[in-house]
Amino acid sequence: MKIISDHSFKNWAKNVRFKAPFFTQPETEQEIIDLIKQHQKIRVVGSGHSWSALCESEGLLMNLEKYNKVLELNKPAKTIKVQAGIKLHQLNILLDKEGMALSILGSIAKQTIAGAISTGTHGSGIRFQSLASQIIEFSLIKANGEKIILKKGDENFNAAISLGCLGVISEVTLQVTDAFNLHDKTYVAKFSEVINNIDEYLAHDHFKLWWFPPCDEVVIYTYKRTDVKRNDSRLRQILNDEILSVWAYRMLVKVGNLVNKWRNPINRFLTSQMKGPLDRIEKSFMVFNVPEPPKHRETEWAFDVKDAKELLTAYQQLFTGSHFTFNFIQEIRFTKGDDFWLSECFERDTLWIGAYNHEDKQWNEILNSFEVFAQKHNGRPHWGKEFTVRKNYLEKNYPKYAAFIELRKQFDPEGKFLNRLTSELFGI
């Protein structure tokens, strides 16, 4: 195991950059334990697909991408045990070959399983919780090198969404399901019509929206779980998902960056191209996961879904009534509440809305404006996205915030796993 000094790091979005004094990529659990015992300050990083500075390290930066093996597959019980650095896209393919699948996924599959768990990564579907809900057991290496195993139902299991503050997640056992397909119907409707009939849309197995401000129409995605045979063609995937959705979209985003006044017409054009409608049946992970977007800035907040009509109306007015111009998709999703202490969905079914833009000088002003809106409506920021609120606000909106801080002190009394950001969030 090689340890590199003065390692320059930048995240996927390139908005977080720092130089770590030390960097390494362990390949075994014993190497992880030894590193924890040897170093006074440690942060863990997977694929770096977070916009917040969670991985910034004042000592050792430990990357787990080489710690990515499948340890056990139990087909009768439909469980899989993996090392923490396996990426979601790797897991998707491995499970598919065995006739199984993860029950819920987010839009992107570049993250490691531990990173997705630790930040509350989610998909969309009001009857489905975050990705962490699929965990039934995980092992954690504490600050003193001790390995503990937490099973669903254990006292501290619901602290799994921990931002890497309790220790290093080593092994994860997931409850999976039989492979299934999704019947994807994608079309366009008036934003106001969707807001007025939101409960009907939420009745779908999976439902999300894409919005290109200031359009008065939104793109609607509804997915129905099915065992009906796939009918999506490879030609359509190449043309739509690989050429148009990636290269053509990126070109239009860059064109909009040249002249701001072109952005609104471009967004109307993009919306018009989604009227299709698209009607296809495909493997679940191929529908849940979308083509990789261009690098961009992003904040996303979780709100109580019972206020969806009011929130979406105010959100639409916020973006259409401002001087901002947007050159990126605004994604709106929905998830079921859960019991994880630091989950953005803790004890409430959730509406996810945010702000997204690509390489834009307006970004800091957009972020500030959206955070004012989000705090007014008792939102909770996605830990893996950009946010500026700190402990004074967060402890009022997370009922188990104080309990998590006490647990962090117990697990890591010397603050080995704290960095600048997590100290501001959970330090003494």
Residue-level pLDDT, tens digit, the chain, 428 residues: 899 999 999 999 999 999 999 999 999 999 999 999 999 999 999 999 999 999 999 999 999 999 999 999 999 999 999 999 999 999 999 999 999 999 999 999 999 999 999 999 999 999 999 999 999 999 999 999 999 999 999 999 999 999 999 999 999 999 999 999 999 999 999 999 999 999 999 999 999 999 999 999 999 999 999 999 999 999 999 988 889 889 999 999 999 999 989 999 999 999 999 988 899 999 999 999 999 899 999 999 999 999 999 999 999 999 999 999 999 999 999 999 999 999 999 999 999 999 999 988 899 999 999 999 999 999 999 999 999 999 999 999 999 999 999 999 999 999 999 999 999 999 86
276 three-state secondary structure: coil
CATH 3.30.43.10 for domain 3-63, yes or no, is yes
CB contact set of 413 (below 8 Å; sequence gap of 6+): 143
269 three-state secondary structure: helix
Strand pairing of 217-226 and 181-190?
A: antiparallel
Range 181-381: architecture per CATH: 2-Layer Sandwich (3.30)
Res 254: pLDDT: 92
Kindly state the helix (H) or strand (E) to which residue 301 belongs, with its residue range. strand 297-304
Two tokens, residue 119: 């930040």
Res 244: pLDDT: 87
Rg over alpha carbons for the chain, rounded to the nearest Å, is 21
Domain borders along the chain are 3-63, 70-179, 181-381
Q: What angle do CA 408, 47, 79 make, to 5 degrees?
A: 75
d(Cα 312, Cα 328) in Å, to the nearest integer? 18
CB-based burial label for 302 (10 Å; 0-12, 13-18, 19+): buried
> What CATH number matches the domain at 70-179, 3.20.20.150, 3.40.50.620, 3.80.10.10, 3.30.465.10?
3.30.465.10
pTM of the model as a whole: 0.96
